[in-house]
Structure 1
Amino acid sequence: MYFDGAVNSAGSRVGAVLISPDGRHYPIAAKVDFSCTNNVAEYKACILGLQAAIDFKVKELEVFGDSMLTIFQTLGQWKTKDAKLVPYHEYLEELAKSFKKISFTYTPRTKNQFVDALTTLASMASITKENIIEPLEIEIAKGPAYCDSIEATDAKPWYEDIKNFLQTGQYLPFADRRDRKTLKRLAVHYFLSGETLYRRSFDATLLRCIDIHEARRLMEEVHGGSCGPHMNGLMLAKKLMRLGYYWSIMETDYVKHVRHCSRCQVYASQIKAPPNELCPMTAPWPFSMWGIDVIGPINPKASNGHLFILVAIDYFTKWIEAITLASVTAKAVARFVKRDIIARYR
């Protein structure tokens, strides 16, 4: 069972979701008419879920919630000192005795999104007294609706014409003079190595051309994967190009992907987002990724009178290079990178 309760300008609402061993979801939500605190709403949400579980004749129950106060007070790790919470705490303990086996576990808010959305819906919907709304049925659409009304064909990747032109040097049979001129102009920016097509970037770096299926997988991993910081469309584009990938409509796809990211839409305008586990930044080989930072001004000064320390570290080997500076300027940093990193280890 997952539960959640919250109080905001839209009102107080509580909700819980019972999940059976076979994966069936049974949502329960309620709107609170009287004024209460957020902690009271969390207790009422947990009580609502336990009452529903008793009605379903559940004997073994695992309870998950994102309220540390409710979970730890129920476990006995924290004392219940607030007079408003004491009756709710006692009633919750009384309900817990109805189960043969019950456990309470704290879970981060990111893993409690379904109940959070359910409580938000309960606060927004206009519900009159004695009004019961049947549970909603949620289906997962595997593609746009218009895909069901057309025949599926074996689509070729976007770079197929350019690849064929570089392989054979011949134009398509139905291409007119304008199409041939455009294809020839585009092919100048591409390089074919075996069966792999690369695009030359402005700094002569080769970017591997990928199809739309691989592009979607990469966007999901880089944007919201293990180390995904949920960056905006422009930063996501730069990140993937630094990783060495390219496709023709990548900028448009980036913006669409960010707009359809649920977590970005929920937390983008908020100052405080829910905490996530920190993931180390890994580098595939030595010298591929360096971090540079400035320390200072330091007190007391260095023996040579300098006030700042410029530090660089290789993320793969953890090797550190450092120098002292009287003042931090672009010229001094560039000289350090050239002399102490590039020229020293080339």
Structure 2
Amino acid sequence: MLADCPEEVCEDHSLDDRISTVEEDTWTMFFDGAVNLSGSGTGAVLISPNGQHYPVAAKLMFPCTNNIAEYEACILGLQATIEMEVSKPKVFGDSTLIILQTVGKWKTRDAKLVPYHDYLEELVGKFQDVSFEYLPKIHNQFADALATLSSMLQVTEGLKVEPLKIEVLTRQAHCMTILKNPTGNPGIMTS
């Protein structure tokens, strides 16, 4: 069983099995919300069938709870998915509340969350097929990082940053310098 995973969410097969069973024409979406002393933000990442990542994030400029930030993140990701004309997304999030309310295992009782749940259901109706699955926060790091980043930034309205490029570096930057031999003597090199 997965750590921090409610019994009604977890299944006998592993997380890797659930994520790797995504069909060829199915996109995946990961979402997360963040509320901290610096503010609130959302993050979602859409992953195409060929592995291309499309991150989206938003700074929330209104007071909200963590559950509202989670709903905002899921909605942001679904809206981006609709804009990209994806018909069959598989949605993953680390919010037990959002996942279980969306799949109908829990009722939405908090009056502040009812409009979010209703709007999310409206968005769900725009897809040919969509599924929602819980996954532990440790497996939701990209969306979590986007949400945390957007919550902490002090941004002005209308700011748009794209694209977000993240590279994997296997060498230290200084290792890429070309060594010069000013004297022509072997063994005396300077950078």
TM-score by length of 2: 0.76
CA distance in 2: counterparts of 1:131 and 1:36, whole angstroms = 21
How many positions carry a matched residue from both structures?
A: 151
Deviation at 1:150, TM superposition (A): 5.6
SS of residue in 2 equivalent to 1:101: coil
In structure 1, the residue matched to 2:106 is 78
Q: How does 1:117-132 map to 2 (within 5 A)?
A: 117-132=145-160
In structure 2, the residue matched to 1:143 is 171
8 Å Cα contact 2:41-2:151 kept in structure 1: yes
Q: How does 1:43-54 map to 2 (within 5 A)?
A: 43-54=71-82
Q: How does 1:24-35 map to 2 (within 5 A)?
A: 24-35=52-63
Alignment RMSD, CA only?
1.2
SS of residue in 1 equivalent to 2:41: strand
CA distance in 2: counterparts of 1:62 and 1:48, whole angstroms = 15
Could you say which structure has the higher helix fraction? 1
In structure 1, the residue matched to 2:189 is none
| 1:85-127: CA deviation from partner (whole Å, max 9, x where unpaired) | 1110010001001110100000000001111111111122221
CA distance in 1: counterparts of 2:89 and 2:109, whole angstroms = 27
| Structure 1 position 103 matched with structure 2 position 131 | yes
CA distance in 2: counterparts of 1:131 and 1:145, whole angstroms = 30
Unaligned runs of 5+ in 2: 1-28, 180-191
In structure 1, the residue matched to 2:50 is 22
TM-score by length of 1: 0.43
What amino acid is the match of 1:30?
A
In structure 2, the residue matched to 1:3 is 31
CA distance in 2: counterparts of 1:39 and 1:10, whole angstroms = 17
Unaligned runs of 5+ in 1: 152-346
| 1:258-301: CA deviation from partner (whole Å, max 9, x where unpaired) | xxxxxxxxxxxxxxxxxxxxxxxxxxxxxxxxxxxxxxxxxxxx
In structure 2, the residue matched to 1:89 is 117
CA distance in 1: counterparts of 2:137 and 2:52, whole angstroms = 21
What amino acid is the match of 2:89?
L
CA distance in 1: counterparts of 2:177 and 2:36, whole angstroms = 44
In structure 2, the residue matched to 1:13 is 41
SS of residue in 1 equivalent to 2:130: strand
The structure, 1 or 2, with the larger RCO (C-alpha pairs under 8 Å, 6+ apart) is 2
CA distance in 2: counterparts of 1:17 and 1:126, whole angstroms = 21
CA distance in 2: counterparts of 1:46 and 1:107, whole angstroms = 14
CA distance in 2: counterparts of 1:108 and 1:148, whole angstroms = 38
Which structure 1 residue ranges, 4+ long, deviate > 2 Å from structure 2? 146-151
Deviation at 1:82, TM superposition (A): 0.5
CA distance in 1: counterparts of 2:66 and 2:72, whole angstroms = 10
Deviation at 1:148, TM superposition (A): 2.3
What amino acid is the match of 1:79?
K
Q: How does 1:67-216 map to 2 (within 5 A)?
A: 67-149=95-177
